Amino acid sequence: MKLSQYLSIAFGAVALAFLSGCASQGTTTILHRGDPNPVAYKPRNPANVKVKVSLSTQNVYVMEGDRPLLVAATCVGTPQKPTPKGTMRVTRKERDKRSYSYGYWVKGNEIRPGKSGERPGAGYRYVGYPMQYWVEFKPAYGFHQGYVWPVPRSHGCLRLHKNVAAKFFALVQVGTPVVIADHQPEDQTIGRNVPRPNDYNDPDPDPHYMISSAVFTQPAGPLLQEQ
């Protein structure tokens, strides 16, 4: 069973995509042809940026008035662990975050997946699962880089593809409104043909890589374009 599936089933994990733009396990590199890589546009006035999330289509719309700055697929919470609805605001941003709840227990060269509150024995140290480009809108809920499944899969957070997360992080700031609802007006226009990733089919990364600082790579080049 994939580690991401194991964590999701056993713990409702916050599984993330690999942060380098490709998936690596040992010496194998997987590049997905057709992975979404949407353009993100620089806002004219950052104070006018608003984030809208449609739970039914699993789409994120970053808008400046009627002008779309970024449109992308997301993965939302399950019915048992739903993404909260309502009008909120970004309260915190953290580029290189690790989970406080789910991750790995490490002892020498042994690495076990597990919950932070369930130490498997003496001598183990906890290392949280990477949740890069964290944008929090409610305590314990946020956007972050992760596997974007075609069905609701998270514990309420909103996962973004590795080609999207850094751009989203650059577009929003503390105080940016976040409106989450079952439907958004944009579903019938710019949201009709949003490409969906297939990174959830990737093999698991080496856990030694996942507990290292190397997992937190940064994209090259400008993230936002002029329009």
pLDDT at 12: 35
- Whose tokens are 């710019």? That residue is 190
All domains of the chain in start order, with CATH: 3-20+51-214 (2.40.440.10)
* Position 19 pLDDT exceeds 80: no
* Position 202 pLDDT exceeds 90: no
Structure-model confidence comparison of residues 221 and 177, the more confident one: 177
pLDDT at 203: 87
* Position 46 pLDDT exceeds 80: yes
**Element at 171 (helix H, strand E):** helix 165-171
- Kindly list the distances between the CA atom of residue 214 and the CA atoms of 52, 109, 208, in Å, as whole numbers in the listed order: 32, 17, 10
The pLDDT tens digits of the residues spanning 124-167 come to 999 999 999 999 999 999 999 999 999 999 999 999 999 999 99
Q: What is the mean pLDDT of residues 99-125?
A: 96
Predicted TM-score (pTM) of this structure: 0.84
Quick one: pLDDT band at residue 26, thresholds 50, 70, 90? very low
Quick one: pLDDT band at residue 11, thresholds 50, 70, 90? very low
Q: Name, in order, each residue with C-beta under 8 angstroms of 54's C-beta and a sequence gap of 6 or more.
A: 61, 181, 182, 183, 184, 186, 187, 191
